Chains A and B, each alone.
Chain A
Amino acid sequence: MFDFIVGHYNYWMYIGLMMIGFYAMMAKRNLIKKIIGMNIFQSAIIFFYISTSVKKGNVTVPILEHAHGDHGTHAIDVMQYANPLPHVLMLTAIVVMVATLGVALAVAIMVYRRYNTLEEDEIILSMRRGG
Chain B
Amino acid sequence: MVAQTPILIVVIPLIAAFICPLIGLFRRGLCYFWMVLALLVCTIASIKTLYAVIDGGTIHYRLGGWPPPFGIEYVVDHLNAMMLIVISVISLIVAVYSKESVEQELPQRAVYFYTVFLLQVTGFLGIVITGDLFNLYVFLEIASLAGYALIAIGEDGAPLACFRYIVMGTIGACFYLLGIGYIYISTGSLNMADVQEILPGLYHSKVIVTAIAFLLAGLAVKMALFPVHVWLPDAYTKAPSAVSALVAPLMTKISLYVMIRILFSVFKPHLSIQVLPITQIMVWAGFVAICAGAIMALAQKDFKRMLCYIVVAEVGYIVGGVGLANTTAMKGAILHILNDAVMTAGLFTVAGIIMYKVKSRKLSDFKGLFRKMPFTMAAFVVGALSIIGVPPTCGFFSKWYLIQGAVIANQWAFVAALLGSSLINVILFFRIIEIGYVFHDSHGENTHNGDVTRRIEEAPFSMLIPTIAVALAIILIGFYNQTILSKIIQFAVPKI
Contact = CB atoms under 8 A, between A and B. Distances in A.
Most chain B CB neighbours (cut-off 10 Å) among A34, A49, A96, A107: A107
B166 A104 contact: yes
B40 interface: no
B181 A49 contact: yes
A12 to B, nearest CB: 15
A17 B371 CA distance: 60
A108 B184 contact: no
A107 B167 contact: no
Contact of A100 (B137, B152, B166): B166
B160 A123 contact: yes
Contact of B163 (A41, A48, A96, A107): A107
Interface in A89-128: 89, 92-93, 96, 99-100, 103-104, 106-108, 110-111, 114-115, 123, 127
Interface in A49-99: 49, 52, 85-86, 89, 92-93, 96, 99
Contact of B145 (A31, A99, A110, A115): A99
A35 to B, nearest CB: 9
Contact of B170 (A38, A86, A89, A114): A38
Interface residues of B, number: 24
Contacts of B148: 103, 107
Interface string B239-283: 000000000000000000000000000000000000000000000
B170 A42 contact: yes
Contacts, number: 71
Contacts of B159: 107, 110-111, 114
B73 interface: no
B134 interface: yes
Main DSSP-derived SS at the B contact region: helix
Contacts of A104: 163, 166-167, 170
A20 interface: no
Contacts of A25: 167, 170-171
A19 interface: no
A86 B182 CA distance: 12
A92 B180 CA distance: 14
A89 B138 CA distance: 10
B314 interface: no
B415 interface: no
B134 A89 contact: yes
Interface of A: 22, 25, 31, 34, 38, 41-42, 45, 48-49, 52, 85-86, 89, 92-93, 96, 99-100, 103-104, 106-108, 110-111, 114-115, 123, 127
18 contacts: A22-B171, A41-B174, A45-B181, A48-B181, A52-B184, A89-B134, A92-B138, A93-B137, A99-B141, A99-B145, A103-B149, A107-B163, A107-B166, A108-B163, A110-B152, A111-B159, A115-B160, A127-B157
